[in-house]
Chain A
Amino acid sequence: MIVKATRMLTLIVSACCGTALAQVPDTVPNPAAPVETIQSALAAAAQQAGVGERQALLFEAVKQSFDLPGASRLILRGAWRQLNADQHNRFVDALGRVIAANYASRFKPGVAVNFGHVEVADLPRGRASVRTMLERAQGSPVAFDYVVQRSGEQWRILNVLVGGVSDIALRSAQYTRQLNEQGFDAVVAGMQAEVETALAEAQ
């Protein structure tokens, strides 16, 4: 339940941030830019009727705004170094699709959301934290913390914490255990099954 709730909230907050981020000038690399990309894609996806189209659109946005190889390395930890280039590519691709499918399944057009203001804070080693608060119709606001990293002229999302819960930590605990117990192919197969389940729910 925590996993699902977290991912759903991640998606929702991503949708929220677009308006606030639009005011930052284009010329200066903006730590909040990747969040804005996801947000725009969510807004566009909301207009698409078919789940397939929504998934394709969001997958492109995820590939643009997330540092998928970096996130994959963090998720698989020491095991990442033992995989070959082909396995790296397969995992990165699967991770992008899982994130996109979760967005597609969880983002329902027309759901009312309110967003607090965005706070950007510098983190060590050229990273930044982008925080926004989700005002919920019921219950207290939930904090959304994106950890973004600058790569050249671009900022990309490495991790997102919803209510303090780290998406990378959740996936790492799940995938590394699966990797140790069942092997790499089972992990990728599991991720594909997760995509299919999410898309089926999004129908």
Chain B
Amino acid sequence: MTPPQQPAVAQRLLARTTAAVLARPWRVVVIHVALLLAALAAAAGLLRIDTDTSAMLSAKLDWRQQQLALEAAFPDYRSGTVVLVEAATRQAANDAAVALTDALRAHALVTQAFTVEGDPTLRQQGLMLMPPEVFDRTAEALIAAQPLLGRLQQAPHLAGFAELLAQASDQDSAALAPVFDALTQSLSSTPAAPVDWRLLLGTAQSAPHAVILLDHPDASGRDVLAAVRDTIDETQVSHSTPFRARLTGPLPLRVEELTAAANGATLAAVLTLIAVIALLWLGLRSLRMVLASLLTVLFGLGFTAGFAALAVGHLNLISVAFSALFIGLAVDYVVHLCMQVRANLLAGQVRDAAINNAVQRVGVSLCLCTATTSTAFFAFLLTSYRGIAELGLIAGVGVMLGLLVSLTLLPALLRLLLPAASRPAVASTTKSVRAQPRHNTAVRVGAVALAGLAIWLALDLQFAYNPIALKPPRAESVQAHTQLLQTADAPLRAEVLADSAADAAQLRESLQALDAVARVDSAKRLLAGNAQTRLQQIDDLALTLGGALATPLQLAPPPDDTRQSLLALQSATAEQRPAFSDALQRWLQDNTSEQAIAKLQRAWLGDLPSLLALLADGLNAENLTLEDWPAHLRQQWRSDAGKHRLVVVPARALDSDTALANFVDEVKSVAPSAVGAPVVYREAGQAVQRAFVEAFATALICITVLLLVVLRRVGDALRVLVPLLLGSVLLLAAAARIPIPLNFANIIALPLLLGIAVDNGIHVLLRQRDPAAPPLLQTATGKAVVLSALTTLASFAALGFSAHRGMASMGQLLALGLVICLLCTLIVLPALRPRES
């Protein structure tokens, strides 16, 4: 039965090894257990999960060099975490952010905590640095509100405010209309909603949120996040108004992504195991064989984890998927061996002979399969994508270890578990299926036509640049990031390093002229455009407001007669402002307690003390030169070595790949050395695509060489490769049509499939070389090919359930690819068989 083409030396070696294993099975098992314990100890002690994905691409790439140069010039300006603070009003959010920033500064793990309104210099220069139109709006609103604010200083409580409104209610004053509208709106909810005085005074940002930027040592990762979350919890308890704080920015995004990826990988591994057990049972119909198979796979997995710990030391976002991949791949070996053992037993061979013959029969092709699969994995090592290179190394060695345990531990376990003269419990259920097509020419023509169509369709395939789209959509950091994208605090900005002030000015001007650019921030951001004019405007505003802001407003508890004041206000406004009057009347009917009055005071006036204090600070603005600014603020924009940093803010939200690509292309047309997150996304996307073309080409060349060496016939090598290439273009076409756009994670599918699917081709081809072979699917090989494909498919499909969208799409693409490649191999490869003379 042994095919004459198989190398006799390898076969003799396998026979001798197997005989040795079968002679001392317990010794083999004990050695494996000892090695497993050592591997697990190494994994537990050394293997950590690396959250830093920024270094996953080679530092030799131009844009990485530029990014590193910028980070070197501005080392202190690298925010690892962004805290998005939200509250009912903009001022409440800012107050909470200031309180939280103070609390965070006290924490040992936090090197810097910064929020704009917590910084004395920025508070003082706030009015100075406002864009002209915002300043005019704010000044106008403040002047209109001055009578209210001025009187409130005299009676700083709800009763005073109500009396003032009652006095003003008979005026047909457009200036007060927004105030009454806001109060009416406030009364429309229960309890009364806080009045947003920033909106009323025209100083509003786009949403009621504030942002805190945190710096911390890179290594502290999860500890920092835990500490920040604890501090948030404590501040939420101690702070006077409720607020919500969510973490985003590079570190939380990384950590949550990795958690999702690790959970996804664990889930995938468990699902894969369950599916593998079910499939093994269906294929082998022997619990003992299933047990031996499982133990073999798990030992292999443990050894691979030990290797990863010793050789790499960490798992990254991509290599964390190796466990699911490994189970799917390593199980192929045990399937092929066990199916053959089963066939041998059914053919009447005794246990030891059945095992030894099975190893000899399929061992060589398994070695060849391992060589091709690991070649595909090792091809990743040649790319500049370090994350994938590490997966390549771990998985490449992993499949070798998988083969090794299949050839040593599995025979030992089968020897120990199977009875000496056993027969399988169930007879063969194989039906006679002729899978080989009778119309080879039709299949060949169809394949060529299909390939042409697929290539045409595949031209539409997109690459999704934005890595945020791969992250778990429900993660707090991703949601906060997405929310910030729509605001003025959008985190996706390009950065440009300029060598001098003159260069900076020139670049700034060119960048500012671009359509895709909203504005360019630079050291000029700290300098008012027309300082003398603005100082005069601020002085005029101070004079106009009189002393209204000079004394800090401190709200007093509402006096006992507040209810009467509110009743008076209600009746005074009945004619001129009926909507407000009705709303207040309803509120007074529904709320009779003193507590409700106190709450209403907080809702209506709670914003004012800190907002007025901020504006009062702004009235003390000075004409500061760059040198006058505190170093920590100046050095965000100009380094002590004289380098300038420009931040380019996009005109439109970068929430799609098209918007991102347009923005980056426009910015780079003016500033080729631009860096920053959007540039990194795009450049990394292109680098990764190049890396995978390299990996695919390398894998293809290596596998071709291997096939030529082993099969020794160009025709046979082509017969294995053609279905694979057809499968690859069909997969790309399917991905383009579904669509499953390529991304940073799923792009590994193509070279990986090459390595995996080629195995099926090898098995089928070697089987066909056997002149006495029955129809393919009646053979143990044919069934094993289907069964192993199903187990691999299960492992890929299990990845598809991951909450990590990148990993899920990787699983989907791999599963789809495997089915397509398997069909191509089973249908097209036999049709390529030369006509027998």
Contacts and interface: CB of A to CB of B under 8 A. Distances in A.
A169 B540 CA distance: 11
B154 A166 contact: no
Nearest to B148: A165
Contacts of A166: 146-147, 150, 544-546, 548
A169 B151 CA distance: 13
B136 A163 contact: no
B167 interface: yes
Nearest to B152: A164
A103 to B, nearest CB: 20
A34 to B, nearest CB: 15
Nearest to A160: B546
A73 interface: yes
Interface stretch (A22-30, A42-50, A92-100, A170-178): A170-178
Q: Say what secondary structure dominates the interface of chain B.
A: helix
A164 B150 contact: yes
B171 A1 contact: yes
Interface residues of A, number: 28
B399 interface: no
A172 B174 CA distance: 13
Contact of A129 (B136, B144, B547, B548): B547
Interface string A136-155: 00000001010100000000
Contacts of B545: 166, 169
Given A169-B143, A172-B143, A163 B544 contact: no
A1 B168 contact: yes
Interface in B546-582: 546-548
Contact of A143 (B143, B154, B167, B168): B154
A191 interface: no
B188 interface: no
B146 A169 contact: yes
Contacts of B174: 177
B171 A73 contact: no
B544 A74 contact: yes
Contacts of B150: 161, 163-166, 169
B143 A164 contact: no
A86 B143 CA distance: 27
A1, A5, A169, A170: residue with the most chain B Cβ atoms closer than 10 Å? A169
B543 A147 contact: yes
Contacts of B547: 129, 145, 147, 161, 164
Given A143-B154, A165-B147, A125 B539 contact: yes
Given A1-B168, A1-B171, A166-B146, A161 B154 contact: no
A110 interface: no
A79 B687 CA distance: 56
Given A164-B154, A166-B146, A173-B143, A74 B548 contact: no
Interface in B360-375: none
Nearest to B620: A124
Contact of A73 (B144, B147, B170, B540): B540
Given A1-B167, A164-B153, A147 B546 contact: yes
Given A164-B548, A169-B143, A74 B151 contact: no
Of the candidates B150, B545, B546, the one having the most CB atoms from chain A within 10 angstroms of its own CB is B546
A161 B540 contact: no
A145 B175 contact: no
Nearest to B619: A124
Q: Most B CB atoms within 10 A — which of A127, A147, A164? A: A164
B139 interface: yes
B147 A169 contact: yes
B665 interface: no
Contacts of A145: 546-547
On chain B, which size bracket covers the interface?
Answer: 20 to 34
B171 A2 contact: yes
Contact of A78 (B136, B170, B543, B544): B136
Contact of B543 (A158, A163, A173): A158
A164 B170 CA distance: 20
Contacts of A159: 543-544, 546
Interface in B110-145: 136, 139-140, 143-144
Interface in A90-136: 125, 127, 129
B543 A74 contact: yes
A2 B147 contact: yes
Contacts of B154: 143, 163-164
A169 B546 contact: yes
Given A145-B547, A169-B545, A77 B171 contact: no
A170 B147 contact: yes
Interface string A1-43: 1110100000000000000000000000000000000000000
Contacts of B540: 73-74, 77
A78 B545 CA distance: 16
Interface string B506-547: 000000000000000000000000000000000110011111
B133 to A, nearest CB: 11
A56 interface: no
Contacts of B167: 1-2, 5
Contacts of A179: none
Which of A2, A172, A176 gathers the greatest number of chain B CB atoms within 10 Å?
A2
A147 B542 CA distance: 11
A57 interface: no
B170 A173 contact: no
A168 interface: yes
Contacts of B144: 169, 173
A50 B143 CA distance: 37
A176 B137 CA distance: 13
Contacts of B152: 164
A161 B545 CA distance: 9
A172 B546 CA distance: 13
A74 B175 CA distance: 18
Contacts of B147: 2, 165-166, 169-170
Contacts of A170: 146-147
Nearest to B132: A78
B211 to A, nearest CB: 32
A177 B539 CA distance: 21
A56 B388 CA distance: 91
A145 B543 CA distance: 12
A64 B91 CA distance: 44
B543 A165 contact: no
A71 to B, nearest CB: 9
Given A161-B546, A165-B151, A169-B544, A176 B140 contact: yes
A142 to B, nearest CB: 8
B400 to A, nearest CB: 78
Contacts of B171: 1-3
A67 to B, nearest CB: 10
Contacts of A147: 543, 546-547
Nearest to A149: B543
Nearest to A173: B144
A158 B151 CA distance: 20
B147 to A, nearest CB: 5
Interface string B147-179: 101111110000000000001101100110000
A168 B168 contact: no
A145 B150 CA distance: 11
A82 to B, nearest CB: 14
Contact of A173 (B136, B153, B175): B175
Given A1-B168, A165-B151, 18 more contacts: A1-B170, A2-B167, A2-B168, A78-B136, A147-B547, A159-B543, A159-B546, A163-B154, A164-B149, A164-B547, A168-B544, A169-B544, A170-B147, A173-B143, A173-B144, A176-B140, A177-B174, A177-B175
7 tightest Cβ-Cβ pairs between the two chains A and B? A164-B150, A169-B146, A161-B546, A166-B546, A165-B147, A173-B144, A165-B150
24 contacts: A1-B167, A2-B147, A2-B167, A5-B167, A74-B543, A77-B143, A125-B539, A129-B547, A158-B543, A159-B546, A163-B151, A164-B152, A164-B153, A164-B546, A164-B548, A166-B548, A168-B546, A169-B147, A169-B544, A169-B546, A170-B146, A173-B143, A176-B140, A177-B174
